[in-house]
């Protein structure tokens, strides 16, 4: 079986042909420019590839309400050229096959529970900490959608006593994205994440905020596991700092977080940054199944 998969991010779009075992048969990369430049490139990639379905895991916010007239549209994104762009219809029209559509981070959690180390789990939360912060919640074996795009990356946090940075979120200041994203690190320290490798205070603050995030998500969703992905999590040793700080902040409150469970509870992605594209393929597979 050949399934087309699109992982659409704000700077690049990965296109791939994937089989039902999660093996990537072909892969390409397209820069995210304007829709007029980029959409034809996506279509060109898949032409003649004999795909049976297509799945798209897309940067957001996006309209996921199937009853809505703008289902499959990108909404008020910071990528201004893409606001109100209909991502789905041109692909459906071109290929005439089932097309699944969801958020990039929902794609990542779906990739991990289908093909990764969380395979078979029914309650898993995926957090991505990059330029922004996003979350995908897989609960009771389905992706959580709600009545609109959930925005758990904007939960407010208690500020670290040593931190006087106002926060980079223009809506909330001190939310998770405002204090702990890559943009926040750049804003606070005037340096990129990679240039901060020796700044212990920077990572102490980061672990403090991410541990609060882990506790908040644990108390809300009680998942079997929380996966932490995104560029910031590539920092060596950060996951260990977050685990330690999570144990301290939880202080024995939730039984899900203990010294015995933490290594299995809080993990990095297992699919070598292919979780998003593989999850997109799962969206395609599901769309195919729905068509019967
Ligand atoms: Zn915010």
Query: What is the model's pLDDT at position 60?
Result: 84
Q: How far is the CA of 169 from the centre of ligand 1 (A)?
A: 5
Residue 292 pLDDT level (bands cut at 50, 70, 90): confident
Q: How far is the CA of 205 from the centre of ligand 1 (A)?
A: 18
Nearest 5°: CA angle at 133, between 186 and 22? 120
Question: How far is residue 201's CA from residue 281's CA, in Å, rounded to a whole number?
Answer: 40
Q: How far is the CA of 132 from the centre of ligand 1 (A)?
A: 10
Name which of 220, 219, 241 is nearest 228 in CA terms: 241
Question: How far is residue 37's CA from residue 140's CA, in Å, rounded to a whole number?
Answer: 39
> What is the mean pLDDT of the segment spanning 51-66?
94
Name which of 57, 52, 53 is nearest 110 in CA terms: 57
Query: What is the model's pLDDT at position 149?
Result: 75
Q: With beta carbons less than 8 A apart as the criterion, state whether 221 and 232 touch.
A: no
Q: How far is the CA of 119 from the centre of ligand 1 (A)?
A: 31
Q: How far is the CA of 133 from the centre of ligand 1 (A)?
A: 9
> Which residues are CB-neighbours of 48 under 8 A, at least 6 positions away?
none
Q: What separation in angstroms does the CA of 46 have from each of 75, 155, 212?
A: 25, 38, 42
> What is the mean pLDDT of the segment spanning 255-284?
97
Q: How far is the CA of 167 from the centre of ligand 1 (A)?
A: 9
Q: How far is the CA of 153 from the centre of ligand 1 (A)?
A: 7
Q: How far is the CA of 151 from the centre of ligand 1 (A)?
A: 9
Running DSSP on this structure, what letter comes out for residue 164? -
Name which of 185, 241, 181, 243 is nearest 214 in CA terms: 243
Q: How far is the CA of 170 from the centre of ligand 1 (A)?
A: 7
> What is the mean pLDDT of the segment spanning 45-57?
97
> Tokens for 79?
């990528």
Q: How many CB atoms lie within 10 A of CB 224?
A: 18
Query: What is the model's pLDDT at position 79?
Result: 84
Q: Find the largest Cα–Cα distance for the chain.
A: 58
Q: How far is the CA of 156 from the centre of ligand 1 (A)?
A: 7
Q: How far is the CA of 127 from the centre of ligand 1 (A)?
A: 15
- Tell me the average pLDDT of the chain: 95
Q: How far is the CA of 131 from the centre of ligand 1 (A)?
A: 13
β partners of residue 5: 16, 55
pLDDT at 21 over 80: yes
> What is the mean pLDDT of the segment spanning 258-265?
98
Q: What is the pLDDT of residues 126-167, one digit of tens each?
A: 999 998 999 999 999 999 998 877 889 999 999 999 999 999
Percent of the chain with pLDDT over 70: 100
Q: What is the pLDDT of residues 222-251, one digit of tens each?
A: 999 999 999 999 999 999 999 999 999 999
Query: What is the model's pLDDT at position 77?
Result: 83
Q: How far is the CA of 73 from the centre of ligand 1 (A)?
A: 22
Q: How many CB atoms lie within 10 A of CB 149?
A: 15
Q: Up-side HSE of residue 168: CA atoms within 13 Å toward CB?
A: 17
Q: How far is the CA of 191 from the centre of ligand 1 (A)?
A: 21
Query: What is the model's pLDDT at position 157?
Result: 97
Q: Up-side HSE of residue 268: CA atoms within 13 Å toward CB?
A: 16
Q: How far is the CA of 221 from the centre of ligand 1 (A)?
A: 20
Q: How far is the CA of 154 from the centre of ligand 1 (A)?
A: 4
pTM, entire model: 0.94
pLDDT at 2 over 90: yes
Query: What is the model's pLDDT at position 191?
Result: 85
Question: How far is residue 104's CA from residue 57's CA, in Å, rounded to a whole number?
Answer: 4
> What is the mean pLDDT of the segment spanning 90-107?
96
Please give the domain boundaries of the chain with CATH numbers for all domains. Answer: 3-104+272-290 (3.30.420.40), 117-267 (3.30.420.40)
């Amino acid at each position: 079986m050949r399934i087309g998969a699109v992982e659409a991010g704000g700077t690049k779009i990965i296109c791939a042909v994937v089989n039902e075992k999660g093996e990537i048969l072909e892969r390409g990369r397209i820069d995210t420019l304007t829709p007029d430049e980029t959409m034809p490139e996506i279509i060109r990639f898949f032409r003649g590839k004999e795909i049976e379905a297509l799945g798209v895991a897309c940067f957001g916010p996006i309209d996921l309400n199937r009853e809505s007239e703008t289902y499959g549209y990108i909404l008020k994104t910071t990528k201004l050229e893409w606001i109100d762009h209909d991502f789905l219809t041109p692909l459906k029209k071109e290929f005439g096959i089932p097309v699944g559509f969801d958020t990039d981070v929902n794609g990542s959690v779906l990739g991990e529970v289908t093909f990764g180390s969380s395979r078979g789990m029914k309650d898993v939360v995926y957090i991505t900490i990059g330029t922004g912060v996003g979350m995908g919640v897989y609960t009771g074996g389905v992706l959580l959608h709600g009545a609109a795009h959930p925005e758990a990356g904007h939960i407010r946090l208690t500020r670290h006593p040593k931190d006087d940075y106002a926060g980079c979120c223009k809506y909330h200041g001190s939310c998770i994205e405002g204090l702990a994203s890559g943009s926040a690190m750049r804003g606070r320290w005037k340096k990129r994440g990679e240039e901060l490798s020796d700044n212990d205070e920077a990572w102490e603050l980061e672990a403090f905020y991410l541990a609060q995030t882990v506790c908040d998500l644990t108390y809300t969703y009680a998942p079997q596991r929380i996966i932490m992905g995104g560029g910031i999590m590539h920092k060596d040793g950060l996951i260990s700092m977050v685990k330690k700080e999570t144990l301290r902040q939880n202080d024995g409150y939730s039984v899900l977080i203990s010294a015995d469970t933490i290594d299995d509870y809080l993990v990095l992605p297992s699919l070598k940054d292919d979780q998003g594209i593989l999850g997109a393929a799962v969206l395609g597979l599901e769309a195919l199944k729905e068509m019967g």
